[in-house]
Structure 1
Amino acid sequence: MGTSLYFVADLGVSSYDAVALTISEKCKRIPFQYCRITTDILCVVIGFVFHVTVGIGTVITAFMMGPVIQWFNVHLSEPIRYGRKKES
């Protein structure tokens, strides 16, 4: 939730988070959640290549962080920042 709030608030992001955000903004057809999953998995693979212990928590986080952040963006952070859209 915290990550979603500071993304939407335009307070700046870390370099790691900026990769997925930049890709999703430049390639409008690819949603943020898929960009985040891809960058997270890429980092896990790089760690694995360098003999880092990759546990089940790391794998779950790599696959779930993007969708969770996107859900909070849509259902919490953006409505707080921009107000709820009128339903037609």
Structure 2
Amino acid sequence: MKIRILFYLIGLFFLGLGATLTIKANLGAGAWDALNVGLSHAFGLTVGSWVIIIGIIMMFLNAIIVNGKPNFLALVTILLIGFSVDFWLTVVMKNVVFEQFFHQVISLLSGIVLISIGVAMYLQTKFPANPIDQFMLALNKRFRLNFMVAKTIGEISALILALIMQGPIGIGTILITFLIGPIIQWMNTPIAKGYESLIKR
């Protein structure tokens, strides 16, 4: 159980840090993060608060997709991610600015990798998934799409909404939209093997 909880918390820790790095790179955030930033600028509240609000909306949408009931335990995951994002954005990296293009690229790529590792890690634990990732799982379950395709569909949907809300869209957004699914798919196998070996000890 300790390993399970550790994987869960570290995964969410990486996810929050990764999202913050992609936002701070200022080259275009991931579609969902761009949507949350756009909503924050348009209506107030912190980015993390919008992570929580959008997560709750997605929780009900996922239930509709799989013809089931909302997984209210996912609220724990939603809150932890929202608080994590706000912690990194408004406390740890509040005054961090990447002015050189090289540093922006490093921040963006590091963020993409950390998000992918974080998602792959915490999904191993079978704790309630972040509704954004649950959307990927719901599409996988309902339409038997692999993670890569399902995640990309979710990213493109969020991209359209982010454009409407005038979120920070750029080359980074495009890279994240089309790379995040394949990288999660690629990371999932070795992380799953590592998790299983630790659990069996």
**TM-score, structure 2 normalization:** 0.38
| Aligned pair partner of 2:192 in 64, 75, 78 | 78
Q: 1:36 to 1:79 in 2, by over 3 A?
A: same
Are residues 1:65 and 2:180 paired?
A: yes
Residue from 132, 138, 152 that aligns with 1:16: 132
**Shift in Å, 1:82:** 4.1
Q: 1:10 deviation in Å?
A: 0.8
Q: Distance in 1 between matches of 2:187 and 2:134?
A: 17
| Matched ranges for 1:21-60 at <5 A | 21-28=137-144, 30-60=145-175
Asked if the contact 1:6–1:12 (Cα under 8 Å) also holds between the matched residues in 2, the reply is no
TM-score normalized with structure 1 length: 0.80
Q: Which runs of 5+ in 2 are unaligned?
A: 1-116
User: In 2, Cα distance between the equivalents of 1:77 and 1:27?
Assistant: 25
- AA in 1 matched with 2:132: Y
Q: Which residue is 2:70 aligned to? A: none
Instruction: Give the gaps of 5 or more residues in structure 1.
Output: 84-88
Structure 1 residue 81: deviation in Å?
3.6
Structure 2 CA distance for aligned equivalents of residues 81 and 52 of structure 1: 36
Equivalent residues of 1:4, 1:69 under 8 A apart: yes
**2:140 is matched by which residue type in structure 1?**
S
Runs of 4+ in 1 over 3 A off after TM superposition: none
For residues 34-74 of structure 1, the C-alpha deviation after alignment (integer angstroms, 9 at most, x for no partner) is 01011001101111123223111111111111110111112
Q: Which of these two proteins has the greater Rg computed from alpha carbons?
A: 2
CA drift at 1:9: 1.7
Amino acid at match of 1:37: T
Where 1:12 maps in the other structure, the secondary structure is coil
Cα distance between partner residues in 1 of 2:133 and 2:150: 10
Give percent identity, aligned residues only.
21
CA separation in 1, counterparts of 2:154 and 2:129?
15
